[in-house]
A and B are shown apart, each in its own frame.
Chain A
Amino acid sequence: MPRSPLQRLLDIGGTLAVLAILGFLLLPAFVVALAAFNDSALLSFPPHAWSLRWFARAIAYRDFQEGVRNGLIVTGWASTIALVVGAAFAFAMDHYRFRLKTAIEGVLLSPLVVPHFTVGLGFLILAAQIGLARTYTIVIVCHVILVLPFVLRSVYVSLRNLDQRLELAAASLGAPPHRVLATITLPLLLPGLLSGWLFAAILSFNEFTASLFVTVQRTQTLPVAMYNYVRDYADPSMAALSVMYIVATAALLTFANAFLGLGKVLNVEHDR
């Protein structure tokens, strides 16, 4: 079919609009990079001299170092617990019938709608009541709850693509249930499990609002340390840290896209 002039005009207009929107999305990252490599503490565009000193300062800043360490402790535990709990539950949701099935699922998915400050305040009050205030435990529990919906979603998608006949075939050939699980189900679910874990880990490492409520100085994670820094200081150390953050995250996601196919995980792409 020949393309009409109107069609071509729409194509050009659409492309320009999309480029403008991508520009809007990328503008903050671009400006942060300019500020981070700028020698002067005052923002100036374009910068008069370039330097890496804000990177050195950001890396040497104690609160950031401790924030990374605390963040890794919390994220490591939270994403792993969420993966195990979430994958097991998703499997049960897919394969079994049991009481309160939809009720449990509903509660586990509800942190998607409940504002994070409400979740944070709830766990803060709960922690005070059961004597867990100021501990890592309450931070980890809070993060598990917040990332579980994403793990569930990711594992659901790969369970839907799993051919249950393979499990039945293995079972009919005499494999006991745990053997079917270990040699058939788990290997086939591996990409979904990995991407679920990765999502959970990135989201937990970056979770801010609820963390602000449940952490104290000793357990504060990186986003909380960054928030306190932005509130108190105005030098570009934070810009330098942001650049490291953006580069690491984009690299991780590009890697994940190449190996796991993010389009399929996010359900925006299908095999046809």
Chain B
Amino acid sequence: MKTQPFLRSFVTPAALCALGFLAAMAAILQYSVRTFIPGSLEAGGFTLANFAALMKPLYARVFIDTVWICFLTAFFTLIVGYPLAYALVHVRNRLAKSFILITVITPLFLGEVVRTYAWIIVLGNNGFINTVLIKLGIVAQPLQFMFTKFGVVVALVHVTMPVMVIILAAALSHIDRNYERAAQSLGAGPIRAFTTVTLPLSMPGIIAGTTTAFAWTFSAFATPQLIGGGRVNMISNLVYQLGFASFNFPFAASLCVSGLALVLIIMALVGVAARRLESIGPH
């Protein structure tokens, strides 16, 4: 076997980082099964009451809303992101390619706060859309986008788009275009060539993109907090509220644990369903 001269010094720092992360996750796990002592940051003895409290309709509602919002966001991000990813991979003009690439990925690096703020002034009652609609005489009263699920999902689709497009484009760019050409030369129309060749071949990208979009949306905090304004709540908002308004860290921790379990279960289910779908798909 060949020598491994730097093994210890190259792996140790990474192993320490992994340990640090595991310690943080262990801290959450440990807090999630301890009693809340009101007025104190310390947690008491072992209990499962935190998890039992999650069954209350108030909290169950937030879980259902969160999953629904994540689902809608992942779905619409896919629908809107696919054509863009296709264009990014297949456009021939270098300038147009760079323009699409920069437009797609710049939002990724702007952070959630800047993008959410931008959507507030687009969607607000005195915001861009309402001002334009009223000026054009299309509506008399401002349409209510703020504090609605619709507004939250629109902004979240915008926030999630870059990741989706990058993942889809990576998958699409690995597909040999000659397959599509072959299908067309054998008499398939462009639509048929797309639905029977390109679309199935890009399925791994669609699955990866959708699950990632789902997980990212689940992680979103500023968007539901500022655009939902307390009327649309996701798990992230509840965790923050419990941690920083009532200092109930044990309950916040139990929410994090069950939220993470939920994400992992849903992602696993999507994975299984996708494999089924692929195995019965057209060949």
A180 to B98, CA, bound (A): 36
B residues 91-134 with Cβ under 8 Å of A? 97-98, 100-107, 109-122, 124, 126-128, 131-132
Smallest CB gap from A17: residue in B: B83
Q: How far is the CB of B145 from chain A (nearest CB, A)?
A: 13
Does B14 count as interface, using CB distance less than 8 angstroms? yes
Does B215 interact with chain A (Cβ within 8 Å)?
Answer: yes
Alpha-carbon separation in the docked complex, A88 to B6 (Å): 9
Taking the complex as formed, is A34 at the interface, i.e. its CB lies under 8 A from any CB of chain B? yes
* Cβ A24 vs Cβ B80 within 8 A: yes
Across the A-B interface, how many residue pairs have beta carbons closer than 8 Å? 265
CB distance from B59 to the nearest CB of A (A): 16
A22 contacts chain B at the CB level, 8 A cutoff: yes
B9→A96 contact, CB < 8 A: no
**Residue in A14, A113, A203, A231 whose CB lies within 8 Å of B87:** A14
Q: How far is the CB of B189 from chain A (nearest CB, A)?
A: 6
Known: A84-B13, A118-B260. A45 touches B102 (CB 8 A): no
Contact indicator B256/A117 (Cβ below 8 Å):
yes
Q: Which of A22, A26, A45 touches B131 (beta carbons < 8 Å)?
A: A45
Please tell me if the beta carbons of A246 and B106 are within 8 angstroms of each other in the complex. Answer: yes
* Contact indicator B173/A21 (Cβ below 8 Å): no
What are the residues of chain A within 8 A of B215 when measuring CB–CB?
A: 112-113, 115
For the complex, give the distance between the alpha carbons of A202 and B162 in Å. 15
Taking CB atoms and an 8 Å cut-off, the chain B residues in 68-95 that contact chain A are 80, 83-84, 86-89
Partner of A125, one of B109, B132, B249: B249
Within 8 A of A (CB), among B1-46: 1, 3-7, 9-11, 13-15, 17-18, 20-25, 27-28, 31, 41
Q: Are A88 and B135 in contact (CB under 8 A)?
A: no
On whether the beta carbons of B114 and A85 are closer than 8 Å, the reply is: no
CA distance in complex: A118, B255 (Å): 9
Say yes or no: A253 contacts B113, CB within 8 Å: no
In contact, A123 and B110 (Cβ under 8 angstroms): no
A89 and B166 contact, Cβ closer than 8 Å, known pairs A32-B118, A115-B256, A239-B121? no
Which residues of chain B are within 8 angstroms of A64 by Cβ–Cβ distance? none
Given contacts A114-B260, A230-B120, contact A269 B173 (CB under 8 A): yes
How far apart are B188's CB and chain A's nearest CB, in angstroms? Answer: 12
On whether the beta carbons of B110 and A115 are closer than 8 Å, the reply is: no
Distance between B229 CB and nearest chain A CB, rounded to angstroms: 10
Which segment of A53-61, A141-149, A186-194 sits at the interface?
A141-149
Per-residue interface assignment for chain B, residues 196 to 235, with 1 indicating a CB less than 8 Å from any chain A CB and 0 otherwise: 0000000000000000100100111110001000000001
Q: Are B13 and A268 in contact (CB under 8 A)?
A: no
Does A51 sit within 8 A of B, measured CB to CB?
Answer: no
Chain B neighbourhood of A245, CB < 8 A: 110, 114
Are B260 and A18 interface neighbours, CB within 8 A?
A: no
- Complex CA gap A100/B97 in Å reads 41
B170 within 8 A of A: yes
B interface bracket (residues with beta carbon within 8 Å of A): 35 or more
**Contact yes or no, A31 B173, CB < 8 A:** no
How distant is the Cα of A31 from the Cα of B126 in the complex, in angstroms? 12
Residue on B nearest A133 in the bound complex, by CB: B41
Contacts of B252 in A (CB 8 A): 121
Chain A residues with CB under 8 Å of B97's CB are 263
- Chain A residues contacting B153 (CB-CB under 8 Å) are none
- CB neighbours (8 Å) of B121 from chain A are 31-32, 35, 43, 239
- Interface-central residue, A21, A32, A104, A108, by most chain B CB under 10 Å: A21
Q: Does B183 contact A (CB under 8 A)?
A: no
A230 and B226: CB pair below 8 A?
yes
B156 in the interface (beta carbon within 8 A) = no
- The one of B18, B122, B166, B218 that contacts A31, using a Cβ cutoff of 8 Å: B122
- Which single member of A34, A97, A208 contacts B113 (CB below 8 Å)? A208
Q: B263 on the interface (CB 8 Å rule)?
A: yes
The reply to whether B122 and A28 contact each other, CB–CB distance below 8 Å, is: yes
- CB of A213 closer than 8 Å to a CB of B: yes
Say yes or no: A108-B17 contact (C-beta < 8 A), given A28-B118, A230-B117: yes
When the two chains form their complex, are residues A116 and B115 in contact, meaning their CB atoms are under 8 A apart? no
Cβ–Cβ contact B127 & A110, under 8 A:
no
Residues of A within 8 A of B17 (CB): 85, 108, 144-145, 148
- Nearest-neighbor residue (CB-CB) of B29 within chain A: A122
A254 cross-chain contacts in B, Cβ below 8 A: 98, 102
Q: Confirm or deny: A226 has a beta carbon within 8 angstroms of a beta carbon on chain B.
A: yes
Q: Does A7 contact B (CB under 8 A)?
A: yes
B103 close to A22 (CB less than 8 A): yes
A115 touches B219 (CB 8 A): yes
User: Does B191 sit within 8 A of A, measured CB to CB?
Assistant: yes
Given contacts A27-B122, A141-B20, A208-B112, contact A88 B158 (CB under 8 A): no
Chain B residues, Cβ within 8 Å of A31: 118, 121-122, 127-128
Closest to B157 in A: A24
A49 adjacent to chain B (CB < 8 Å): no
Whether B10 pairs with A89 at a CB distance below 8 angstroms is yes
B264 located at the interface, meaning its Cβ lies under 8 Å from any Cβ of chain A in the complex: yes
Return 6 A-B CB contacts under 8 Å, by A number.
Answer: A88-B13, A206-B110, A212-B221, A254-B98, A268-B173, A270-B174
